[in-house]
Amino acid sequence: MSIQEITAGLPAPKPLRLGETALFLDLDGTLAPIAARPQDVAPDPRRTSLLERLALKLDGRLAVVSGRTLADIDRILESCVTAVAAVHGLVLRDPDGAVHATAPHPDLAVATEGFRVFAARDPGLIVEEKGGLSVALHFRQANWHAEAARACARALATQTGLVLQEGAMVEELRTPGARKGDSVRAFMAKPPFAGATPVFVGDDATDEDGFEAAQALGGVGVRVGAAKTTAARFQLAGVEAALAWLEASG
């Protein structure tokens, strides 16, 4: 399906058929509400219990695909999901627990320093370092700097050759390499995911690649949150709706 402009909104997905599904879940904005600061997102017993049940009923065909670091995903989800694509796919932990990571870009330190210099102008600007592979500049608490933050990120991307990835109130510069869609394809090529129907659930522009990959493999994308231009075929109103749908499925 081609990218479509959402006007009246997409239909909500039906409950999952867990026996034939491979489920890929974003974290922030999908399983957990967006927080003012990345470190403010904490473990939640309801979410952990839900993911444990889903992993069991899916026979392990559950993966979290997030822009966060592997350590941060494990902190928030209390290590309840084994298969994880972290830093947008630059770090991949297989269902058997083996971890594969892309080599860091040599100019990441330059970009990090550039973001730190920019962030010094306002305490509401937050620089998030992601395991030596990526660095993000958050301006959710200082959105009056949005235009300047985007200009800073574009300039640093040109200077360093890092990949510019724009998100909701965040500019990120990452080592070139795998994206979320690549992670879906990698997981779907191996047990226990192989042969199942992929369903990718996410909320942000960074998840569009995941939607497209799932749908190219015969599955679907489910967008969480406000209606926007998207490749997804289904939509849920927000995090609470996403959790309720997953609970109804599992």
Residue 68 falls inside a structural domain = yes
Percent of the chain with pLDDT over 90: 90
One domain, residues 112 and 59: no
- Whether 59 and 38 map to the same domain: the answer is yes
Best CA proximity match to 235, nearest among 8, 9, 4: 9
Asked, for residue 88, whether it belongs to a domain, the answer is yes
Residue 1 in any domain: the answer is no
150 in the same domain as 113: yes
Quote the pLDDT of residue 5: 39
Q: Which of 174, 193, 212 is the last residue of a domain?
A: 174
Exposure string for 72-81, b = 16+ CB within 10 A, e = fewer: bbbebbeebb
Total domains in the chain come to 2
* Tokens standing for residue 80: 């309840």
Based on the residue annotation, tell me whether 26 is a catalytic residue of this protein. yes
Q: Would you say residue 224 has pLDDT above 60?
A: yes
Could you give the 3-state DSSP secondary structure of residue 101? Answer: strand
pLDDT surpassing 70 at residue 6: no
Reported as a single tens digit per residue, the pLDDT across 26-81 is: 999 999 999 888 899 999 999 999 999 999 999 999 999 999 999 999 999 999 99
Q: Is residue 185 located within the same domain as residue 150?
A: no
Same domain membership, residue 137 and residue 25: no
**Is the same domain home to 141 and 114?**
yes
Dump pLDDT digits (tens) for 75-134. Answer: 999 999 999 999 999 999 999 999 999 999 999 999 999 999 999 999 999 999 998 999
Whether 232 and 192 map to the same domain: the answer is yes
- Torsions phi, psi for 57 (to 5 deg): -75, -25
Q: Is residue 1 over pLDDT 50?
A: no
In the prediction, which pLDDT does 229 show?
86
Which of 26, 28, 74, 203 is flagged as catalytic?
Answer: 26
Half-sphere exposure of 2 (CA within 13 A, CB side): 2
What residue type is 146 in one-letter code? A
The whole domain housing 146 covers: 108-174
Q: What is the pLDDT of residue 226?
A: 82
Residue 167: the pLDDT is: 84
Q: pLDDT tier at 231 (50, 70, 90 boundaries)?
A: very high
Q: What average pLDDT score do residues 186-212 get?
A: 96
CATH number at residue 76: 3.40.50.1000
